[in-house]
């Protein structure tokens, strides 16, 4: 077929599409042969064809060959340069990308945007920002690339700041940038900012039915602890709901421990014959897990494979194992790990570790811990869970062994931190760290008063839990200083009576802080809404919405 390319008139018009197809379907051999044929012709003089050859190799991940093609190209246009720059980033060759960028004779918007995007995807957010700052003229795509890049790199505060700066400079945000900033706000848990963006969306009559915006708003409200507002948005898009809207609503209800409500939404989906996807089932399984609904969870795990013909992914197994383990079926969870067709990941082992800690299963916990350390030797959470399992069983020699193992491998603990917003200002408290001098006396004396009043109400500090995020030797003095306790006492002083106190914590809440919050909600007659690493706890009148099951 390819022997007489030279004799075929007009073939250069179809060549690019064939080359593109080779790249798309990973047909390296066919693509290489076609390239070989093209080399015997004059077709490479056509920039459209030569760029297609270049793109094909980049698509195939053959950066080396692509570079060779690029170097040999008689006419490189800005399109060729942009392709090779993105290709270098995709292959992780960050320095080559930069070199290309510096050599490029003319840069268009795409060049700048691919540099920003490429740096962001490689985790180089500082370099991406430098490029952005260097730009003379910026378009909305470049603003969005930096905002979403910050979110991707776990820098939600920077994302929010840049979004505001963009509005100050009178740039009209597009849906993509609004979705990104909403996800940043969701990470931070600052509902006021979220409400402000929501109002902006309304004022500018931006339609929620775009498929992603509605679900981003639902997600934001749910993650900020305002599940009613999330439901309100969900209701408002009733007639044009995307699958994302349904999924965000189900997962939102799930992390708030509203398992029955989450399942009701799923049933509504089924009644309306809306086909769920893999994410829907993650939400459903999470709801079952937080609600302790073992049989229901197993039922939905089978349903997704039977009626909906889906192959469960590692995250679905993770949910199932978490569900079983949390409910005390630790051996059954262990069996699932042994029989599952995919290799367990870190999250699976950590779910097992948490279950073993909760239910005092040392042997299975030890085994899970070793697997987890093998997979991620620098994850501090594993060591802490494992040493807590030993501590609970009174095996102090093993606790010491794990601690020194942790020290030897240079594992750094993630410090516990809690954030609270008062009058639009973010206040962050770190466990075991000095508090801002301005507030120190105020917070510590409030906490002291709280401790007295709570103890009279029956709260007893539980020293065994301090291991969660504080070094053992410091524990007596610091017990009262777990970051959420500091944030809550700060909130009690500064947030008007009748208003709930919202706190966002980066790690899981420990048993001691949990009972501290319960008693505080009763003694001070305040609702405390605490978001920890895995879910929401709504404390009210001495009880928690999780029913102490977390």
544 binds Zn ion (CB under 5 A): yes
Question: With contact defined as beta carbons under 8 Å apart, do 245 and 216 qualify?
Answer: no
Between CA 449 and CA 492 the distance in angstroms is 12
CB of 470 to Zn ion, least distance (A): 8
Among 146, 510, 528, 529, binds Zn ion (CB under 5 A): 510
CB of 382 to Zn ion, least distance (A): 19
Per-position x/- string for 468-507, each x denoting binding to Zn ion as judged by CB under 5 A, each - no binding: --------------x-------------------------
Between CA 517 and CA 523 the distance in angstroms is 10
Nearest 10 degrees: Cα torsion 161, 162, 163, 165: 90
Strand arrangement, sheet containing 543-544:
425-430, 417-422, 501-505, 528-531, 536-540, 543-544
457 versus 548: smaller Cβ distance to Zn ion: 548
CB of 546 to Zn ion, least distance (A): 3
Contacting range for Zn ion; rule: CB under 5 A; set: 145-153, 259-267, 355-363, 511-519: 511-519
Q: Are strands 528-531 and 501-505 parallel, antiparallel or unpaired?
A: parallel
Q: What are phi and psi of 369, to 5 degrees?
A: -60, -45
58 versus 431: smaller Cβ distance to Zn ion: 431
159 versus 467: smaller Cβ distance to Zn ion: 467
CB of 528 to Zn ion, least distance (A): 10
**Residue 477 structure tokens:** 């003095």
Contacting range for Zn ion; rule: CB under 5 A; set: 55-63, 88-96, 157-165, 538-546: 538-546
Name the residue among 505, 401, 523, 510 with its Cα closest to residue 452.
Answer: 523
Among 254, 287, 467, 546, binds Zn ion (CB under 5 A): 546
Q: How many residues are present in the chain?
A: 550
290 binds Zn ion (CB under 5 A): no
Between CA 524 and CA 542 the distance in angstroms is 10
CB of 505 to Zn ion, least distance (A): 9
522 binds Zn ion (CB under 5 A): no
Among 356, 513, 520, 529, binds Zn ion (CB under 5 A): 513
CB of 476 to Zn ion, least distance (A): 14
CA separation (Å) from 441 to 95, 107, 426, 483, 490? 50, 56, 19, 16, 11
Report the 3 state secondary structure along 75-131.
CCCHHHHHHHHHHHHHCCCHHHHHHHHHHCCCCCHHHHHHHHHHHHHCCCHHHHHHH
Q: What are phi and psi of 195, to 5 degrees?
A: -65, -35
210 versus 534: smaller Cβ distance to Zn ion: 534
517 binds Zn ion (CB under 5 A): no
Among 98, 256, 290, 537, binds Zn ion (CB under 5 A): 537
Per-position x/- string for 217-256, each x denoting binding to Zn ion as judged by CB under 5 A, each - no binding: ----------------------------------------
CB of 428 to Zn ion, least distance (A): 16
Residues that bind Zn ion (CB under 5 A): 482, 510, 513, 537, 544, 546
């Amino acid at each position: 077929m390819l022997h007489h390319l030279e004799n075929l008139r007009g073939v250069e018009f179809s060549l690019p599409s064939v080359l593109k197809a080779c790249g798309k379907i990973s047909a390296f051999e066919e693509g290489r042969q076609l390239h070989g044929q093209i080399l015997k012709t004059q077709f490479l003089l056509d920039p459209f064809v030569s760029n297609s050859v270049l793109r094909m190799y980049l698509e195939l991940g053959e950066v080396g060959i692509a570079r060779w093609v690029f170097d040999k190209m008689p006419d490189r246009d800005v399109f060729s340069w942009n392709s090779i720059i993105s290709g270098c980033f995709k292959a992780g060759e960050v320095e080559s990308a930069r070199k290309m960028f510096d050599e490029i004779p003319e840069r268009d918007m795409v060049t700048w945007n691919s540099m920003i995007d490429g740096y962001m995807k490689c985790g180089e957010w500082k370099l991406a920002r430098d490029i952005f700052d260097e730009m003379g003229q910026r378009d909305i795509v470049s603003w969005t690339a930096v905002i979403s890049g910050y979110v991707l790199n776990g820098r939600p505060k920077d994302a929010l700041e840049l979004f505001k700066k963009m509005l100050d400079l009178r740039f009209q945000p597009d849906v993509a940038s609004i979705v990104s900033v909403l996800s940043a706000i969701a990470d931070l848990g600052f509902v006021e900012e979220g409400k402000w963006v929501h109002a902006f969306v309304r004022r500018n009559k931006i339609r929620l039915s775009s498929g992603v915006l509605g679900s981003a708003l639902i997600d934001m409200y749910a993650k900020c602890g305002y599940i009613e507002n999330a439901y309100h948005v969900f209701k408002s898009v009733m007639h044009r709901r995307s699958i994302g809207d349904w999924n965000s609503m189900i997962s939102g209800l799930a992390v708030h421990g509203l398992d029955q409500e989450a399942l009701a939404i799923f049933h509504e989906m089924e009644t309306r014959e809306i086909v769920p996807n893999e994410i829907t089932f993650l939400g459903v399984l999470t709801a079952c897990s937080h609600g302790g609904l073992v049989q229901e969870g197993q039922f939905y795990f089978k349903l997704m494979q039977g009626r909906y013909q889906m192959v469960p992914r590692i995250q679905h197994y993770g949910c199932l194992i978490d569900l079983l383990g949390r409910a005390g079926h630790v051996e059954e969870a262990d069996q699932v790990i042994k029989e599952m067709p995919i290799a367990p990941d870190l999250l699976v082992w950590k779910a097992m570790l948490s279950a073993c800690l909760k239910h005092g299963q040392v042997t299975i916990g030890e085994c899970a811990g070793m697997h987890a350390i093998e997979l991620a030797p620098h994850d501090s959470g594993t060591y802490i869970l494992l040493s807590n399992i030993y501590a609970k069983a009174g095996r102090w020699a093993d606790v010491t062994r794990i601690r020194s193992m942790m020290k030897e491998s240079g594992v750094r603990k993630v410090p516990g931190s809690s954030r609270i917003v008062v009058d639009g200002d973010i206040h962050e408290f770190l466990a075991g760290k000095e508090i801002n001098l301005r507030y120190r006396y105020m917070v510590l004396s409030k906490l002291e008063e709280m401790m007295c009043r709570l103890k009279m109400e029956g709260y007893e500090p539980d020293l065994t839990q301090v291991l969660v995020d504080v070094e053992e030797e410091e524990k007596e003095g610091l017990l009262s200083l777990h970051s959420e306790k500091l944030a809550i006492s700060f909130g009690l002083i500064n947030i008007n009576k009748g208003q709930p106190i919202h706190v966002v914590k980066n790690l899981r809440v420990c048993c001691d802080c949990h009972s501290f919050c319960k008693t505080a909600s009763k003694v001070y007659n305040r609702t405390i809404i605490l978001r920890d690493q895995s879910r929401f706890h709504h404390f009210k009148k001495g009880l928690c919405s999780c029913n102490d099951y977390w």
